[in-house]
Amino acid sequence: MITGQSTRLRSYLPPRFLARIMDDRCIRCQVCVRQCGWEALYYDERNDCINSTEANCTGCHRCVALCPTHAIWIEERPLQYRPNFNWRPEAIEDAMQQAESGGIILTGMGDDKGQTIYWDKLVLNASQVTNPSIDPLREPMEVRTYLGRRPDTLDIDYGSMKLRSPLGPLRTLEVPIMFSAISYGALALQVQEGLARAATEMGTFWNTGEGGLHRSLYPYRDHTIVQVASGRFGVSREYLDNSGIVEIKIGQGAKPGIGGHLPGNKVTAEVAATRMIPMGTDALSPAPQHDIYSIEDLRMLIYALKEATNYTKPVSVKIAGVHHAAAIASGIARAGADIIAVDGLRGSTGAAPKIIRDNVGIPIELALASIDHRLRQEGIRNQVSLVCAGGIRNAGDVVKAIALGADAVYIATAALIAVGCHVCQGCPSGRCSWGITTTDPHLAKRQNPDLAARRLANLLKGWEHEIKEMLGGMGINSLESLRGNRDHLRGVGLSDTELQILGVRHAGM
Amino acid sequence: MRRVFAREEVCIACRLCEVACAVEHSESKHIITAMRHEHPKPISRIHVEVDGPFSFAMQCRHCEEPLCAQSCLTQALRKGEDGVVRYNPDYCIACYTCMLACPEGAIVKASRGTWKGVAKCDLCPDREIPACVAICPNEALLFGEAWEWEAMQTPAEPPILARGGHRA
């Protein structure tokens, strides 16, 4: 049989990056070659130099970080297409890629398009003259947060100063920042261990994602949120018992409306055992939870989980921020959830169809503000804690989220950046050179759980200091005083509609 | 005595320790000069053993009963009072018996002009922490007392209620 390029079409895609090596600094130690998980670099023995196959480079900068003489750096090499506002390079290259593969374009990380980032259009207040600001280094500052259902009324026995009204299970966060759901399989076990240790050290929570809980992480159970998603991977009695909070995953900000994707090349024996699936198979969660087609069904699952955990653990429901998020959240609160987590448009993922990541869902700021407003309007805000996820980049975003009504936030991309991620979006391949989103034993070793835990705890400590500084500047000495307090927020350059949804006045008013 | 310990489970086989060792034992001690312009090339006394995903750095373990020193014909290799096995090039007759005797393969050949001999880890006497340990990006090399290392091998229960929190 005569064949041409029939099995695999020649790629017209231009390389995105160019590896530059300063020859007079390069000592040919080949650390870069060994560290590149993408096989983009190789040692050219004949010419005694480092050479590159740029098409493989994702710009993850592992080589740059480890080069002992700083001889290598990666440059973006954009191809100069004929300028066209409609057919921008990304649109052209996506079409090229699909013409070759005939498939969905799978990508990692969060939406990188130019939709409005409302955090950047919101500014905070500070005390001047008429009210004193507080110095958090000299005066006490309270950032502790409790997650869970609060009673409608408080019945206090003033004689003994004891609370008579029964309280549901509550969970304490010493910092209002939790690590968001990233499953084992999508993530290396070493990184999960880092997250678990950092969460334990900082008195907050980490989330297993939908991939089950590896046995080695059971000791961190008091600071673990276990997820029950549509695939039900790894869900067992043991799984629920080894947790602090149980979370039902309905949706994810990066891919609302579809289930989780774990490419089969990441499903090693350990991942398979933890997920309770065959080795090497794609773990594709169903798009819906097949037992939930209404709020009533959700209520049944919530109470099934409460029953299974003997009403000792709060049950959280995570949804993606979509058009009717506020009405849905109201339903979830009434269905008996103790915590609602909302994940926004810019929420991240280990693998999602690019078209969905970039086009589906609404910005988290709008979803959060509308949900908080709706729950207050209906007088049920006390029944649930609200957790904001998807696109939290720094302590400023955390403070703004709390002022918009969140009880706490979830961070994932920021946490991965803390352990080395350079947001190259190569997660679905499982070839992460930083050893983060991979289960390849050679690559995953690059994450030392001790160092990961230290970096993650440092990140939270840094943010905690900054949160306290910002609260102090506003003249507030407790995070509780800021929660939903939009008076400390002002919008800059926002339309009346946007301000109305956010419940914020324009700067200057 | 403080010594270097290798942790296989976090060694990423980048071989930066080899670079750092060679530079530390070079004439200029400047990475680019040493690796590019010095002749003979500075030799590393540490070597990363790699087999698939398994890897760890191997250098002189400064044994309690050093076979190299016992087999050395001229006492060029001797175990000091402090436990460090040291090499004196002036005594060495380059018979390489030590290389045969070392169970770890931690001794390498060295030569400079007409001089021939061996090279081995000296725990970087000029540095507080050996160069290999200082450069390791993943803490796969640790420097400390044997009892500290032993204590690390039995993982402690994670601190429950490290900072407030609750018990489920």
- ipTM comes to 0.88
Alpha-helical (H) ranges within A164-318 are: 189-202, 237-241, 269-275, 295-308
Using the Cβ of A222 and the Cβ atoms of chain B, whether some distance falls under 8 Å is answered with yes
Residue B157's pLDDT is what? 56
Crossing angle for the helix pair A364-377 and A325-334, to the nearest 10 degrees: 50
pLDDT tens for residues A223-245? 999 999 999 999 999 999 999 99
Q: What is the CATH code of the structural domain delimited by B63-120? A: 3.30.70.20
- Mean confidence (pLDDT) of chain A: 94
pLDDT (average), residues B64-72: 94
pLDDT tens for residues A253-312? 999 999 888 889 899 999 999 999 999 999 889 999 999 999 999 999 999 999 999 999
DSSP B157: P
Domain shared by A331 and A194, yes or no: yes
For residue A347, pLDDT over 90 is answered with yes
Q: Can you give the CATH number for the domain in which A273 is found?
A: 3.20.20.70
Residue A166's pLDDT is what? 86
- Burial environment of residue A467 by CB neighbours within 10 A (0 to 12, 13 to 18, 19 or more): buried
For residue A338, pLDDT over 90 is answered with yes
Residue A31's pLDDT is what? 95
DSSP A160: T
pLDDT (average), residues B9-27: 95
pLDDT (average), residues A334-350: 95
Domain shared by A21 and A98, yes or no: yes
Domain shared by A76 and A163, yes or no: no
Is A74 among the domain residues? yes
Domain shared by A99 and A158, yes or no: no
DSSP labels for B57-114? Answer: EE-----SS-HHHHH-SSS-EEE-TTS-EEE-TTT-----HHHHH-TT---EEEEETT
Domain shared by A87 and A188, yes or no: no
Is A136 among the domain residues? no
Beta-ladder partners of B58: B47
Domain shared by A30 and A165, yes or no: no
Domain shared by A63 and A187, yes or no: no
Query: Could you give the percent of chain B with pLDDT greater than 90?
Result: 80
Same fold, B1-59+123-148 and B63-120: yes
CB A110 within 8 A of CB A320: no
Q: At A31, phi and psi to the nearest 5? A: -60, -40
Q: Where does a domain end: A78, A103, A128?
A: A103
Tokens (6 digits) for A413: 């991309």
- Mean confidence (pLDDT) of chain B: 89
pLDDT (average), residues B144-158: 78
Q: Can you give the CATH number for the domain in which A51 is found?
A: 3.30.70.20
Q: Which amino acid is at A143?
A: V
Residue A127's pLDDT is what? 93
For residue A321, pLDDT over 70 is answered with yes
Total-model pTM: 0.93
Residue B152's pLDDT is what? 82
Q: Where does a domain end: A103, A133, A155?
A: A103
Is A24 among the domain residues? yes
For residue A4, pLDDT over 80 is answered with no
CB A432 within 8 A of CB A61: no
Is A119 among the domain residues? no
Q: Where are the domains of chain B?
A: 1-59+123-148, 63-120
Domain shared by A217 and A275, yes or no: yes
Residue B160's pLDDT is what? 46
Chosen from A222, A338, A450 to mutate, greatest number of chain B CBs within 10 A: A222
DSSP labels for A16-68? Answer: SEEEEE-TTT-----HHHHH-TT--EEEETTTTEEEE-GGG-----HHHHH-T
The answer to whether A200 contacts B157, with C-beta atoms less than 8 Å apart, is no
Is A3 among the domain residues? no
Domain shared by A81 and A225, yes or no: no
Residue B156's pLDDT is what? 59
Q: B28 contacts in A (CB within 8 Å)? A: none
DSSP B53: T
Looking at the structure of chain A, the number of domains it has is 2
Residue B164's pLDDT is what? 46
pLDDT (average), residues A357-375: 96
Using the Cβ of B155 and the Cβ atoms of chain A, whether some distance falls under 8 Å is answered with no
Q: Residue A462 sits in which domain range?
A: 145-506
Domain shared by A324 and A408, yes or no: yes
Residue A6's pLDDT is what? 65
Chosen from B5, B11, B14, B41 to mutate, greatest number of chain A CBs within 10 A: B14
pLDDT tens for residues A120-160? 999 999 999 998 999 999 999 999 999 999 998 889 999 99
Domain shared by A88 and A149, yes or no: no
pLDDT tens for residues A196-231? 999 999 999 999 999 999 999 999 999 999 999 999
Is the domain spanning B1-59+123-148 CATH 3.30.70.20? The answer is yes
Domain shared by A76 and A177, yes or no: no
Residue A5's pLDDT is what? 64
